[in-house]
Structure 1
Amino acid sequence: MRIFLILVLVFGLIGPVAVVTLYRFVPPPMTFLMVQRMFEGRGFDRRWVPLSKISPRLVGAVVASEDAGFCRHNGFDVAAIKKAFKHNANSTRIRGGSTISQQTAKNVFLWPRRDYVRKGLEAYFTVLIELIWGKPRIMEVYLNSIEWGPGIYGAEAAAQRNFGVSAAKLSPAQAARLAVIVPKPLSWKADKPGRYVRKRSGTIAARAGVVRRQGLADCVFH
């Protein structure tokens, strides 16, 4: 029994802390989703760049689109979770309440399928990255890891493949389009947007302006 408890302590608690600490300084490798997509034959294009080489316009756009409270919460947006829970109880269209921190924890450390075990681990890793990484590193890893199309991962690959520019040179409109397709990167296109993406991009561009003026993403650059 003692050996079992020691193993649980080492692999269940100390192990994740060690991995999260390592990824504070080195780029995380391929995620479970990336491996899955490769087996599906979707290819692989990921070009890691530091946060300093990603346009602040994209940072503002994803904050506006995915998590307006990113700089104010400690990994969990309780109000958003309650709102999503209430919506999902009365609708067949599931709405998520995950923050960018939670999405980063899931994308980097865990498998894509939804289950209670994964949600519990997601919460644990979210706490760890908030404590060990801080907001700038969370945003950097997030923007370098999320899926942005078939076999396309991270801001640099997304910018190059969709618009032929580096992530540092994205225009406000381009940044907004990329932010919009984050929830459905295999269905929506940033380079050839449909009606919904075009309309939603205008909304996100406007909200990104509010994010900039109110300093809602300032924690990323400090």
Structure 2
Amino acid sequence: MRWLRRLAVALIVLIILPPALTVFYRAEFVHPWSTLMLRDMATLQHWERDWVEFESIAPVLVQSVMVSEDGRYCSHNGVDWNALNAVIDDALDGEATRGASTITMQTAKNLFLWPSRSFLRKSIEIPLALWIDLVLPKKRVMEIYLNIAEWGDGIYGIEAASWTYFGRPASELTARQAALLAVTLPNPYLRDPVNPGPRVSRLANVILGRAAKSGGYIGCLY
């Protein structure tokens, strides 16, 4: 009975707290922490994050992250249903699946959920992403995402990443540096934006070209 009560309390917190906090995060003076940042604090691990306003981030970085992580960010409602359905079909057919998480879904995961992949986490992540997209402007979601995304061991947010890897603020990133940081996001522990391997360099070149042509895709942000 004790464990059942604890489980019930945990479920209630999970159901009530994230939606309530999302509303609170509408206030621009609020600088949210991710669950990984809270973990590092709780375990006394070194971490760094310097919150930076959206307007102080180089547009080319925003463009690069969008075309790398979620090219339909401005047009979906928090979930890219076409991509998600394709992943489900592949899973049912026994084929290898690819990622279908939007930036909004990744923001929901980073803010409220755990990092390991599971159908349980995804089933919670999807409604949270829909709620986040409903409550927060696209620009605010992107600002939060770029300030809590993990760019390496204990490195959170674009400002800390920019200084750590390139010795400059996020507002002064070059197109090449922005592309390298964008392709690092899926696996920041194995991909080094300063000393990229051949595969990372090729991916960065692709993102570099796409970002240069992405003006029509970022209309919801600028």
Query: Which TM bucket (shorter chain)?
Result: 0.7 to 0.9
1:109 lines up with 2:120 in the alignment:
no
Shift of 1:32: 2.0
1:27 lines up with 2:47 in the alignment:
no
Task: Indicate the residue corresponding to 1:123 in structure 2.
Answer: 126
Change (3 A) 1:17 1:86: closer
Structure 1 distance, partners of 2:13, 2:202, is 47
1:135 lines up with 2:133 in the alignment:
no
Cα displacement string for residues 53-76 of structure 1 (whole angstroms, at most 9, x for unaligned residues): 111101100111011100011111
Change (3 A) 1:152 1:74: same
Q: What TM-score, normalized by structure 1, do the two folds share? A: 0.86
Task: Indicate the residue corresponding to 1:209 in structure 2.
Answer: 212
Change (3 A) 1:179 1:12: closer
Which runs of structure 2 are paired with 1:24-173 in the superposition (5 Å)?
24-25=26-27, 26-29=30-33, 31-36=34-39, 43-88=46-91, 89-92=93-96, 94-173=97-176
Task: Indicate the residue corresponding to 2:221 in structure 1.
Answer: 220
Structure 2 distance, partners of 1:13, 1:153, is 26
Structure 1 distance, partners of 2:208, 2:44, is 33
- The count of residues paired between Structure 1 and Structure 2 equals 212
Aligned equivalent of 2:190, options 182, 187, 191: 187
Instruction: Name structure 1 gaps, 5 residues minimum.
Output: none
Instruction: Name structure 2 gaps, 5 residues minimum.
Output: none
Question: Partner letter of residue 49 of structure 2?
Answer: R
Change (3 A) 1:9 1:64: closer
Q: What TM-score, normalized by structure 2, do the two folds share? A: 0.86
Structure 1 distance, partners of 2:173, 2:58, is 6
Question: Partner letter of residue 193 of structure 1?
Answer: P
**Percent of aligned positions with the same letter in both sequences?**
40
Question: Partner letter of residue 47 of structure 1?
Answer: D
Q: Is the 8 A contact 2:18 2:112 kept in 1?
A: no
Greater CA deviation, 171-180 or 128-137? 128-137
Shift of 1:33: 2.0
The alignment partner of 2:213 has SS state of: helix
Change (3 A) 1:174 1:124: same
Structure 2 distance, partners of 1:142, 1:194, is 26
The alignment partner of 1:97 has SS state of: coil
Change (3 A) 1:28 1:91: same
Question: Partner letter of residue 20 of structure 2?
Answer: A
Structure 2 distance, partners of 1:86, 1:12, is 29
Shift of 1:83: 2.8
Q: Is the 8 A contact 1:64 1:211 kept in 2?
A: yes
